[in-house]
Structure 1
Amino acid sequence: MRFSLATFSLVALWQLSSCSTQSKQDDTSKAGTSITKTSADTDTTADSSETGSISSTRAVSTGDSTLDSLTYAPPSGALLPKYRIFAYYGNPHSKKMGALGKYPKEEMLQRLDNEIKNWQKADPATPIQPALHLVATSAQGLPGKDGGYRMRMSDKTIKKVLKWGNEHKSLVFLDIQRGHAPLGPEMAYMEKYLKLPFVHLGIDPEFSMVTGAKPGTKIGSYDAADVNQAVQFLSKIVRENKLPPKVLVVHRFTQGMIKNYKNIKLDPNVQIVMDMDGWGPPVLKKDSYHDYIQKEPVQYTGFKLFYENDFRKPGSRIMTPEEVLALDPKPMYIQYQ
């Protein structure tokens, strides 16, 4: 019964998630390079540089025998900008939260591979690294026992997706929608998984409810200090475990979602991707990318596409790989929901 309730909660959450928020209606680097900064199964627990990079075998022990049996090691060193990361987003408990959970595992992975072929054809010069982007802490409309308005996926759920990534030679991103819960403990919950070299982190400002509002009633935000906290957390994991740099994906589709972006501090152990996360017709998505990603540069850029929501307006359509790659700078992280 607890599993059924958790699953129902996840399905209901689709109405709150970034997949349901429209893109804005309102000359940086060349392709393949980072943008230069302008300055300075139950749940509530539901179911570089100096890194000494790992190459062909994984030597780090997580203290968890199941995790230690996952041996996939991605290409050594920093992934960006040598590779373009291509991710399917969602949660295996919900068909409505994104492509990751919409289809049975094998069909989902086949669709992922087929989509990657389209992107590789559009840009043969940049190899693509596949990825699965799991909503691992999911914002909720109810407070839960601790008042956090969030639901953590269980160890079982997270390990299931990690096993998929291991088998398919794909990265796995663990995404945090913190609700009212502090960011630090939510990241700490992911720490043992992040010791694996193919596991990376995402944080979603939309559900960072700093005003105390209920998730889904208003768009939340992170300050640069919060992004820096995530960077420092990942950098510590990289240093202590001699890992290649981690990738941090930060979702964004409005001006207010990221405060004081100029104060975000770069770290050689972490590669920051600002991901344009809004849905809508191409003109709105391009405007959002220009206003909130290109004009407020941090390091690398990403772009999200929606198999369903990008068609919600009459006459709308999903952008082609060629159209997305025509953006300046070319996004190095692509996500489909």
Structure 2
Amino acid sequence: MKFPQLAGTVILGFAAISLFANCNSDSKGGSGIGKIFSSDTTKKKTDSTVNVMKPVDPKLYDSLMKKLANGDTTGKWPVKKQPYPLAGAILPFKRIVVYYGNLHSKKMGALGEYAPKEMWQRLNAEVKHWEKADPSTPVQPGLHYIAAVASGTPGKDGKYINRMGNKQIDSVLKIAKMQPNTIVFLDLQVALSTIKAELPHIEKYLELPYVHLGIDPEFSMKDGSLPGKKIGTYDAVDVNYVTQYLADIVKKHNLPPKVFVLHRFTKKMVTNSANIKLRPEVQVVVHMDGWGEPDLKIGTYRHFIQNEPVQFTGFKLFYKNDLKKEPKRLMTPEELLKLKPKPIYIQYQ
């Protein structure tokens, strides 16, 4: 769960950490996931999910970025002095639409709530809606999997983190391959650990061309607080470490750029955002991760995404939490396309 913040008022609550209080998983695979599949890490350049590696056309890129700005008059969008991405970049040529969740729990998102076949039927319906709302922008479907979950118990290392084993991640890759050209995001909630310590756990997956990354400041508890008690934070220094880490992988394995999703719904979740460094190997999406009624979500987007530009923007829709208050409805693609800038990454939970 994510909780919006406006006008200095923070609404806090336990996220999914309690769901994992008694769930033990080790790096050899864990339990409770159902059928297990082996990972194929050998198809780094030949897998069907790899984009055709065509060089980026600067004029086309600039025109699409201007289109995403959607007539913004603040002068902040499109972001100035950003590097052109390497060949094979997804953004801004396609809009990414994903289902988010964890296979251990039906309460953490659509990915995990539904059996794979039904999940794909539902996600494909959302994809078609976006294609209809914005025919000029192709949709890139994806699965966004929480690969490290902030936990309600300390675990063996006392870090309050529940790392999904390789076999669980392999299961998600298998589900992704049910539909050709699907991309996968692995999301990290580091709790009392650090992003530097957690990235190596998933590095072999990040070496795959169709696997990308998300990190969640909400559960980065730098002051030693337990996850779920307060909202955590990352600084631009942390973000720059991650983008350099991803850039090194891209260069080493000759991959297309990685899409890097950074969750945000309060100011303090990402400090010194103006110091975030952009790189040709990484496409940074700052993702509006708050829930609530449409006006609240739009306000959160304006305060913490539009006002502090980084590169690209995302927007999250909650099938359940967004309906808790009047008018009890989900925002539509048509509404989101009116935002300045238009979000190019859409996540459904």
TM-score by length of 1: 0.83
Return the alpha-carbon distance in structure 1 between the equivalents of residues 39 and 176 of structure 2: 17
Structure 2 residue runs of 5 or longer lacking an equivalent are: 8-22, 31-37, 53-87
**Structure 1 counterpart of 2:90:** 79
Asked whether 1:91 is paired with 2:91, we answer no
1:66 corresponding residue in structure 2: 40
How far is the alpha carbon of 1:234 from its aligned partner? 0.4
Q: Aligned runs of 1:29-48 on 2, under 5 Å?
A: 42-45=24-27, 47=30
CA distance in 1, matches of 2:170, 2:195: 21
Alignment partners' CA distance in 1, 2:325 and 2:143? 27
1:22 and 2:34 are equivalent in the alignment:
no
Deviations 1:137-163 (A, max 9, x none): 000121111111101101110001011
SS of residue matched to 1:256: coil
CA distance, structure 1, for counterparts of residue 119 and residue 50 of structure 2: 21
The residue identity in structure 1 corresponding to 2:5 is K
After superposing the two structures, state which structure 1 stretch, 136-145 or 235-244, moved more.
Answer: 136-145
Secondary structure, counterpart of 2:178 in structure 1: helix
| Maintained 8 Å contact 2:49/2:183 | no
1:110 corresponds to = 121
Task: Report the Cα offset of residue 68 of structure 1.
Answer: 2.5
Structure 2 counterpart SS, 1:68? coil
Q: In structure 2, which of residues 183, 201, 223 is the aligned counterpart of residue 189 of structure 1?
A: 201
Counterpart in the other structure of 1:214: 226
Assess if the C-alpha contact under 8 Å between 1:24 and 1:285 holds in 2: no
* In the alignment, structure 1 residue 174 sits paired with structure 2 residue 186: yes
Aligned counterpart, 2:322: 310
> SS where residue 287 of structure 2 aligns?
strand
How far 1:334 sits from its partner (Å)?
Answer: 0.3
Taking the aligned partners of 2:132 and 2:40, their CA distance within structure 1 comes to: 37
Displacement of 1:44: 4.4
- Rounded to whole Å, the distance in 2 between the matches of 1:294 and 1:261 is 12
The residue aligned with 2:84 is none
Number of the residue aligned with 1:125: 136
Q: Which amino acid aligns with 2:283?
A: Q
Q: Which sections of structure 1, spanning at least 5 residues, go unmatched?
A: 1-18, 27-40, 48-63
Cα distance per residue 1:139-198 (max 9 Å; x no partner): 012111111110110111000101122231210000000001121121111110011110
Aligned residue identity for 2:48: Y
State the AA in 1 paired with 2:41. Answer: L
Cα-to-partner distance string for 1:262-281 (whole Å, 9 max, x where unaligned): 11000100000000000000
Q: Cα deviations across residues 212-257 of structure 1 (Å, max 9, x unaligned)?
A: 1000000000000111111011000000000000000000000110
> Which aligned pairs between 1:139-154 and structure 2 lie closer than 5 A?
139-154=150-165
Partner of 1:266: 278
The answer to whether residue 342 in structure 2 is matched with residue 330 in structure 1 is: yes
After superposition, the Cα gap between the structure-2 partners of 1:126 and 1:151, relative to the gap in structure 1 and judged at 3 Å, is same
Q: CA RMSD in A?
A: 1.5
Count of paired positions: 288
CA contact (8 A) 2:49 2:182 kept: no
Per the TM alignment, residue 66 of structure 1 is displaced from its structure 2 partner at its CA by: 2.9
Identity %: 54
CA contact (8 A) 1:44 1:150 kept: no
Instruction: Give the whole-Å Cα distance in 2 for the aligned partners of 1:128 and 1:202.
Output: 19
CA distance in 1, matches of 2:177, 2:117: 14
Task: Give me the whole-angstrom Cα distance separating, in 1, the residues matched to 2:315 and 2:26.
Answer: 30
The structural deviation recorded for 1:72 is 2.8
SS at match of 1:267: coil
Distance 2:303 2:144 in 1: 25
In the alignment, what sits opposite 2:299?
Answer: 287
Structure 1 match to 2:251: 239
Partner Cα separation in structure 2 for residue 164 and residue 44 of structure 1: 21
What is the aligned partner in structure 1 of residue 65 from structure 2?
Answer: none
TM-score under structure 2 length normalisation: 0.80
- Kept in 2, the 8 Å contact 1:282–1:316? The answer is no
CA distance in 2, matches of 1:266, 1:279: 28
